[in-house]
Structure 1
Amino acid sequence: MIRVVLADDQALVRGALASMLGLEPDIEVVAQAGSGEEALEAVARIRPDVALIDVQMPGMDGLDVTERVRALVPSCRVVICTTFGRPGYFARAMRNGASGFVVKDSSPEHLVDTVRRVHAGLRVVDPALAAESLASGASPLTARERDVLREARQGGTVSEIARALHLSNGTVRNHLSAAIGKTGAATRAEAALIAEERGWL
């Protein structure tokens, strides 16, 4: 029996995925989570064979959860299941230790097959997405620039971003300027949007 922890912040999607996987004779959904923190707690407690994780969740996102899961329970394989088949997300997922990456408009059969193949020790990725990821290259942003853009995405002022990240106003301005330059954007809002679309945040 393949024991699966399922994490998605949308209850309807989570329930539908759990029901679909539950129909398989060799797969059991042993826990469901609605946030990154809940997913991590469930994996640590249950130590499942596979964690099926969405990217965009409240709190810790699925890509950060993937890295933590692989460090905490190395035997647990991670499959990213997301609406957003972005090259940047794919690259970060692979870098953080994911064994599979599927988009939610895949067929149910493909998702089930992915869970089985990942459990067997294989990697399952979309060839077109892998090629696009290689073509677009790695994120040029530093970790701090990503932090600042994440905060800027929420519309905070320089002072608010500085307070949230325990930085000086000048340091925040420098990081924003660098991020705007690296993304080729005209404003910090545009830089955050570009970075998000490319999966760099």
Structure 2
Amino acid sequence: MIKLYLAEDQELLNTALTMILNLEPDFEVVGSATDGKSALTDIILLKPNIVLLDIEMPNMSGLEIAQQIRLLQLDIKIVILTTFAQEGYFKQALQTNVNGYMLKDSPSDELVRSLRLIIAGDTIYSSELVTQSLLAKECPLTKRELEVLNVLKTGIGTQQIAKTLFLSEGTIRNYISAILSKTATHSRIEAINFAEEHGWI
């Protein structure tokens, strides 16, 4: 019997997936949670064969759970199941060596078939995400520009950024101007979102 665990913050989808998977003769959903911290606690305790993790959940993301599973060296297959076809998330998942990355709009029979293949040792990634990754833009930002962008994410102003990076405010403004130009965006928030979507930060 293949023991599965679901971490999905949408209660309705959590229930629906549990019902679908429990209909399979060789599957047993041993637990589920709608927040990340509870899911990780359960996973450590229940030791399922495979976990299906949503990315964006309260308290801890699916990617953070995956990282913890790897750090703890648990013998568990990890599948990210998400609505987010974002290259940045996909790159993080690849770095964590997840066994599968699938979109929630995948047909249920395809999901079931993929789970069996993953248990058997295969790695399954959404073809849409693989294509996106292959067509992804090279990052045009310098190391320092990426550093400025990462500090911008915290929401602090130019003066505080300058102090944090030990640079002048004028230099920071120049870096921000270069970032906006290279990303063809019109605001700091747009630039941050653009960089995250492309997996640069």
Name the TM-score, length of structure 2 as normaliser. 0.78
Conservation of the 8 A alpha-carbon contact between 2:4 and 2:28: yes
Provide the rounded CA distance (Å) in 2 between the counterparts of 1:145 and 1:39.
34
State the AA in 2 paired with 1:16: A
1:106 Cα deviation after fit:
0.5
Matched-pair contact (CA < 8 Å) for 1:149–1:191 = no
Unmatched 5+ residue regions in structure 1?
Answer: 163-167
Contact 1:146 1:200 in 2 (8 A): no
Between the aligned partners of 2:22 and 2:142, the Cα distance in structure 1 is 40
Query: Secondary structure, in 3 states, of the residue corresponding to 1:20?
Result: helix
Q: Which residue does 1:115 correspond to in 2?
A: 115
Deviation per residue, 1:13-35 (Å, 9 max, x gap)? 11111111111111111111112
Deviations 1:67-116 (A, max 9, x none): 21122243101001001122222222111111001101100001111211
TM-score by length of 1: 0.78
Residue aligning to 2:7: 7
Deviations 1:2-56 (A, max 9, x none): 1111001111111111111111111111111112222211111111110100111
Contact 1:180 1:191 in 2 (8 A): yes
**SS of 1:75's equivalent?**
coil
CA shift, 1:182, in A, is: 6.6
Residues 141, 182 of structure 1: 8 Å contact kept: no
Corresponding residue for residue 55 of structure 1: 55
Task: Pick closer, same or farther for the CA change 1:88–1:144 going to 2, 3 Å.
Answer: same
RMSD value, Cα: 3.1
What amino acid is the match of 1:59?
A: N
Query: Greater CA radius of gyration, 1 or 2?
Result: 2
Give the % identical residues: 35
CA distance in 2, matches of 1:182, 1:32: 43
State the one-letter code of the partner of 1:24: E
Count how many residue pairs are aligned between Structure 1 and Structure 2. Answer: 190
1:145 offset after TM fit, Å?
6.4
The one-character-per-residue Cα deviations of 1:146-168 (angstroms, maximum 9, x if unpaired) are 7645544xxxx549xx7xxxxx7
* 1:142-157 to 2 correspondences below 5 Å: 148=151, 151-152=154-155, 157=156
